[in-house]
Amino acid sequence: MLTLTAVAIFPIVFVSYVVVRSEVGNVTSGIRFELRDAAVAAQSRFTDLLDRREVAAAGAATSPRLQKALQHKEARELASFANAHGLLLETGGHTYGRVVASAAHARVQLMSGGRPVGSLVVQLPLDASTLRRVAAPTSRGIHFDFVRLAARPARGVTLRLADGVGVRAFLPQRVEDARTGGAYHRVEEAGLLALLALMILSFLLARPLLRALRWTEARASESRVDALTGIANRRALEEALAAEIARARRFHHPLAVVLLDLDNFKRTNDSYGHAGGDLLLRTIARILASAARQGDTVARFGGEEFVVVLPETDLVGARRLAERLRIAIESCRVDEMRTTASFGVATFAADDGILSLLAAADRALYRAKENGRNRVESFEQGGPQPPTGSVAPAA
């Protein structure tokens, strides 16, 4: 009986641990996603405020009053103009206007007589008034504040707003503890109700059940990982892309896909054999994985094709990443092997599915191949975009 009891304890403890960790993990992940969505919304509102002030400054830069003061170098008038518009005016080695101690800045070029003579500096104060405009009311108790990015990371989610400054979305500790404590309470209730059944099953099925769980977990992991490169395979890619499309459609977030194909890969196989080609593929996979952010998905699409899924990334950001990857691959040398890659970038549209989004990226990739390889082309709703950078064709 003691032996049976000892055998029963282990699966009960194991199952309880897995359930508690899973439930608390779900609550923690939910809080994290909620905070990130709130921080992204605050970041967007802040950018909109700064953009509006920048547009207003651009209009002020052409005012006759300012242009006259610039032509006659009237220092008093320049200072008065800058203070009246809440701007800093930089011209002739002098700065006019009141400096806001803590503010985000944006610059507008100042022209006079058809030539640049300085800048108008927009100042958006990082104060309580701006924070109230950035932080929309929320029924879930999320708080916001401005933080210095160089400081030690605090709780919550922080996103960059301007040089050295970010916005932090967070829940008060008591609220976060209450949610986590609720998860523990739910697990305790379920555990008490299921304790008798677990005891009986543990006597009969403990060892076979653990073996089955380990086997299932191993098979599930293998079925989603590409055996050669160690990154996600096509099945895992489609699952991740389906989830990101659903999230982008629900929250109206941008989503981009980068599809790349190694140029003249058959020539590499012919010259160095399949073992050399496999080594090159593994190296490229490591380059892609090291450049990806947390939350991105890097997958082998098939053969020498790879896909990078970029949540919350617009066309400009995706093209920028693709160009960095193109340069990294072109610069990489594996023994005597070198290669280049052609890139197709596509962004998510409201009616896109997995196939249509990948097809758009594939059309852009085909155009990159047609235009000489070793380049980045993109496809966006409304037509193709020009290639990024100045790229030499692949040899």
Question: How many other C-beta atoms can be found within 10 angstroms of the C-beta atom of residue 261?
Answer: 21
pLDDT of residue 2: 47
CATH H-level, domain 234-385: superfamily = Reverse transcriptase/Diguanylate cyclase domain (3.30.70.270)
Ordered by start, the domain boundaries in the chain are 1-222, 234-385
Q: Are 345 and 315 in contact (CB under 8 A)?
A: yes
* Residues of the chain falling short of pLDDT 70: 1-21, 136-140, 183-222, 380-395
pLDDT of residue 15: 63
Token code pair at residue 60: 């002020």
3-state SS string over 277-314? HHHHHHHHHHHHHHHCCCCCEEEEEECCEEEEEEECCC
The pTM for the full model equals 0.45
Alpha carbon distance 174, 363 (integer Å): 51
| pLDDT one-digit tens code per residue, 42-94 | 888 888 988 898 898 888 888 898 888 888 888 898 899 988 888 889 988 89
| 324 residue type, one letter | R
